[in-house]
Structure formats: C-alpha cells, structure tokens
Structure 1
Amino acid sequence: MTAPEAESLRVRPSAPQRRAWRGEAPVVAVVALGGILGATARYAASLWWPTPPGGFPWTTFWTNVVGCAVIGVFMVVITDAWAAHRLVRPFFGTGVLGGFTTFSTYAVDIQRLVGSGHTRTGLAYLAVTLLTALAAVWLAMTATRAVLAGRKRGRYTGHPN
C-alpha cells in the first residue's frame, strides 16, 4: 500500500463521537476512582480476615452481603429521596460497590472448594451467598422505603423525627 491508501483506511472519530467521549470521560473517571476505593476496601478485608484452605470464605460472603445491602439502601435513596448529581451513581454504585462486591472471587472460591474436595462446602457457599445477597438487597430496600415513608408521614402530621 502506498501512503495515501493507508491514510484513507485510518478511521477517525467524527466530531459528535469526540464530543460524546468528552461527556462520558468524567463518568469513566469516577467509576475508576470508586472502583479503586471499593477494591482496596475488599482487599483490606481479605487481609484482615483470611480464609483458611478448605474453609468457608466468610470474608467474601460478608463483603458481598454487606455490599448488596448498601446498594439496596443507596438505590432507594437516589431514586426515591434525593436528586443525586449525575456522577454519584456511577461513582458509588458502579465504582465503590462494584469494586467492593465480587462475583469473580465468589466463583473462584467455589471452584477452589470443589476442586480441593470440599464439594458440600462449595455448594453450600454457592447457594447461601446467592440467597443471602438477594435477601440483603430486598430487606435493605424495604427497610429504607419504610424509613422514608415514616419520615414523610411524620413531617406532614407534625410528629418529630
């Protein structure tokens, strides 16, 4: 190929594509920053509370359950009670909580347990984590909505909160 032919094959983003990227760059940046914070907190928890070989991975279990509960509260607050800045949800929901909770470690923990002959523990961990994490989201959302509804009733009826 000659230089002009090679030049014609190069794809250049259009002006609207460049503007769209500039608009999304802050979102990518806050997700990355939040992810660093969340993953660092999870890693610190794993150092503080290590899982013995063949043992139930309590650190990953509680990290995922707590993270799911917090996401339940967070989603209700930012959708029902507070008009959050457009970067709050990507920073905290996707970044911090996405970095804190971990499906990949959960899957690796199951694989390690089953592979090392602890099949019942691995299957119990698989089921208990899934059910408990889902319950945590639901309970946190339900409780947060109840608290918010109680605050609204108290405000309109004159009850102090």
Structure 2
Amino acid sequence: MNQILLVALGGAVGSVCRYLVGVGALRLLGPSFPWGTLVVNVAGSFAIGVLAELIVARYGASAELRLLLITGFLGGFTTFSAFALDAVTLFERGATVAGFAYLVLSIGASIAAAVAGIGLMRSVL
C-alpha cells in the first residue's frame, strides 16, 4: 500500500506540473502547435535520464524513491498518450507537415534529451 501511495503522490505532482507547462506554453506560443506536450516530453525524457543515472545507477537509491520520482512524478508528468492524440489531431486537420515535424521533433529530441541527461550525470559524478 505504501508503494501505491508513493506512485500516487508523485503522479499527482507530476500531473499538476504537466498542466502548468501546457497552460504556460499555450499562453506564450498559442494553440497552433502542441508546444506544451513537446516541452513536457523532452523535459521528461531528460529528467528520466538524469534520475535513472543519478538515483538508480550511481547511488542505488531505494525502491521507494524510484517509485516516487520515476514511476510517479515522471509518469504523471510525461504525456506520450497526449502526444499520440496531438499528432493524430494535426493530421486530421490537414496539417501534414506540422504533424510529421511534431513526430520527428518529439521522438528525436526526447531520445537526445534522455542521452544528454545520462551523459550529464556521468560527467559530474
């Protein structure tokens, strides 16, 4: 039961952070492109690289900390289900170039961010 509460707590905080990033991106950049989802996916991928290397590989952190931060917080923060819906919506609107750009940017930048997070932690630890 303690594990479920840790995941739920982390997920709740991550979801609120995802919402705030989405609102901020909408206000700053407008509704023509799903910037909020893109930013969250890239930031979440970077964070999972950092956290996986830092708390799992380097310090052998407790299962509880991994559940709270990686499964809970980042699970609530990242939005690949929203990513899929945003991509479909762009294509359905006839925005084919934007749809493909969104797919390439989301996947490529998220993988690059995860690698960068791992590399950053390996270089400073």
1:76 maps to which of 36, 53, 56? 53
* Alpha-carbon contact 2:49-2:118 (below 8 Å) kept: yes
Cα distance in 2 between the residues matched to 1:83 and 1:137: 19
TM-score after normalising by structure 1: 0.72
Match of 1:41 in 2: 17
Match of 1:125 in 2: 102
| Counterpart residue type for residue 64 of structure 1 | N
Gaps of at least 5 residues in structure 1 are: 1-24, 149-161
Alignment of 1:22-37 (within 5 A): 25-37=1-13
* Offset of residue 84 of structure 1: 1.8
Indicate the RMSD between aligned Cα atoms, in angstroms. 1.3
Higher helix share: 2
Question: 5+ unaligned residues in a row in structure 2: which ranges?
Answer: none
Paired residue type of 2:35: W
Q: CA deviation at 1:52?
A: 4.0
Aligned pair count reads 123
Higher relative contact order (CA 8 A, sep 6+): 2
Q: Distance in 1 between matches of 2:70 and 2:35?
A: 23
Which structure: larger Rg? 1
Report the AA paired with residue 103 of structure 1.
Answer: F
Match of 1:63 in 2: 40
* Superposition misfits of 4+ residues, deviation over 6 angstroms: none
- Could you tell me the percent identity over the aligned residues? 37
